[in-house]
Chain A
């Protein structure tokens, strides 16, 4: 039977519903989205909004109560036909928030486990090299640092050449420096492999840097979608991303002023104009809001 190759088959279509139990009470996840093969998409929202649940439904780890998931013309889930492709048969790579490396296996064995009956493609050696893990192959996960564990988790998800890469807040447990470095890793991987990627994140800067398209999920529904720059900088959202912090450092870098702001336990660097910086000093209490993002600092992918 010949497959008609049309634009339709190069898409992922998701139309699902499911009751979720959230800290804010039971919520209905009701999502209808489409994305193209080879795109890098972010699901953005607060905890409990439903983005992880959605990701898990694509992977097959959670079942929708009603709906339809189609990948490249293949039905992965169809509630009308009571059909669900088992998780083992969906060729997805999943990176968990907690890394989920197998404690009884070394780095190399974790990667080998992913390969077992699949063959071809860049082998374990190349991924060890690409993720800067050479020298660590024979260590067990408990001997690795957070950043190293996350690189292994990424390599393990990718070594079997999955069709879709699913990232569930993979960097949220890392400190700022590591996060920035690993964000670059993810960009490099995407540019090299062009693998369809869906990232779940609640970090605004990460979204701007990494993805070509964003879906904002609130209380189980998609409220906005589109180009990250347009969506994030829209004034409807700026009210949501206000953080109170304290200035700990002010430095001048070329024509801009870099303010290092302590927000809670996190240090953030924010750019300010001369006029803005003039009025501030170390110890000033400030509000940092989303409108302040400056394209000079974050380059977007795609």
Chain B
């Protein structure tokens, strides 16, 4: 194979890791947003959705500053733990998690809010805790929302450019994901390579959506 597959590998690695982390963070956060009556909620909701409206380069810029060794947080992490976040895969993961957060949280939140209260109450009355109810009653019945969250977060991470470029810096083999690689190859006039990466991304994205719609299909009501 004449083409370097590393960028594709990195893209998918990033998407999988990000989606996995978002599932772990997203479910509790969406649950809290859906059911809590905490006064902080009106602040948190716009914060979560911020990445939807923010130009990716803005977010990438601030993340870069935050993690750069020149400033407080990056400095602390580097000197005491030896971790450098800027221009590393870890930085990409953090950036992607923040940037794809609403794509996981919002469908989950909607799923929780649309879940019938009486089913939750039925579970509580049977002596089950909120955690057990979430695990055994709510989540199994909001599979469409779960699937939406997973697919959207995955697809969105695959397609990221601005944040990844800022925080990652286009380092071959480490932070040069497919979306960035395509840009670089076009700049270098290697249209063949750019085309290869693009086609693979289109094909895989299409397959992901195909699977998504297949599993989400609703039977046509006949009455």
Using a CB–CB cutoff of 8 Å, the interface residues on chain A facing chain B are 59-61, 87-94, 96, 98, 100-104, 113-114, 116-118, 156, 160
Alpha-carbon separation in the docked complex, A86 to B97 (Å): 36
Q: B121 to A61, Cβ gap below 8 A?
A: yes
The dominant DSSP class at the B interface is: helix
Interface centre among A59, A89, A100 (most CB of B within 10 A): A100
Q: How near does chain A come to B112, taking the closest CB pair, in angstroms?
A: 15
Contact of A61 among B124, B126, B129 (CB under 8 A): B124
**Contact among B116, B118, B127, B137 for A88, CB-based, below 8 A:** B127
Q: Are B118 and A100 in touch, CB under 8 angstroms?
A: yes
A102 close to B141 (CB less than 8 A): yes
**B56 CB, min distance to chain A CBs, angstroms:** 38
| A118 / chain B contacts, CB cutoff of 8 Å | 127
Chain B residues at the A interface, C-beta cutoff of 8 Å: 116, 118-119, 121-129, 136-137, 140-141
Q: For residue B132, which residue of chain A has the nearest CB?
A: A116
Query: Do residues B141 and A104 form an inter-chain contact, with CB atoms below 8 A?
Result: yes
Task: Please report the C-alpha to C-alpha distance between residue A59 and residue B121 in the assembled complex, in whole angstroms.
Answer: 10
Q: Which residues does chain A contribute within 8 Å of B121, judged by CB atoms?
A: 61, 87, 94, 96, 100
* Interface residue from A88, A96, A104, A114 paired with B124 (Cβ < 8 Å): A88
In the complex, A117 Cα to B128 Cα: how many Å?
A: 10
Hey, which chain B residues are within 8 Å of A88, CB to CB? 124-125, 127-129
- How long is the Cα–Cα vector from A12 to B140 in the complex, in angstroms? 37
Closest A residue to B127 using CB positions: A88
- Which of the residues A96, A103, A113, A156 comes within 8 Å of B118, measured between beta carbons? A96
Report A5 CB to chain B, min CB distance, Å: 26
| Bound Cα distance A118, B136 (Å) | 17
Task: List 4 other contacts, CB 8 Å, given A100-B118, A116-B128.
Answer: A60-B124, A87-B124, A88-B125, A113-B126
Contacts of A90 in B (CB 8 A): 125
- Which residues from A are CB-within-8-Å of B136? 113
Cα distance A100–B126 when bound, in Å?
12
Residues on the B chain within 8 Å of A103, using CB: 141
List 5 tightest A-B contacts by C-beta distance, closest first: A100-B122, A104-B140, A94-B125, A100-B118, A87-B124
Cβ–Cβ < 8 Å partners of A114 in chain B = 126
Q: How far is the CB of B133 from chain A (nearest CB, A)?
A: 9
- Report chain A residues within 8 Å CB of B118: 96, 98, 100
Asked whether, in the complex, the Cβ of A102 is within 8 Å of the Cβ of B137, the reply is yes
| CB <8 Å contact, A100 and B119 | yes
CB–CB B119/A102 < 8 A: yes
A49 nearest CB across to chain B (Å):
20
CB pair A94–B141 under 8 Å, yes or no, is no
Chain A hits for B127, CB < 8 A: 88-89, 91, 116-118, 160
A117 to chain B, nearest CB (A): 8
Residues on A with C-beta less than 8 A from B129 are: 88
Assess the B140–A94 pair: CB atoms within 8 A: no
Q: How many angstroms between the C-alpha atoms of A260 and B137 in the bound complex? A: 44
List residues of chain B with CB within 8 A of the CB of A93: 125
Interface centre among A59, A60, A92, A102 (most CB of B within 10 A): A102
Residue of A with least CB distance to B118: A100
Query: Would you give 28 A-B contacts (Cβ < 8 Å), ordered by A?
Result: A60-B124, A61-B124, A61-B125, A87-B125, A88-B125, A88-B127, A91-B127, A92-B125, A94-B121, A96-B118, A98-B116, A98-B118, A100-B118, A100-B121, A101-B122, A102-B119, A102-B123, A102-B141, A103-B141, A104-B137, A104-B141, A113-B123, A114-B126, A116-B127, A116-B128, A156-B126, A160-B126, A160-B127
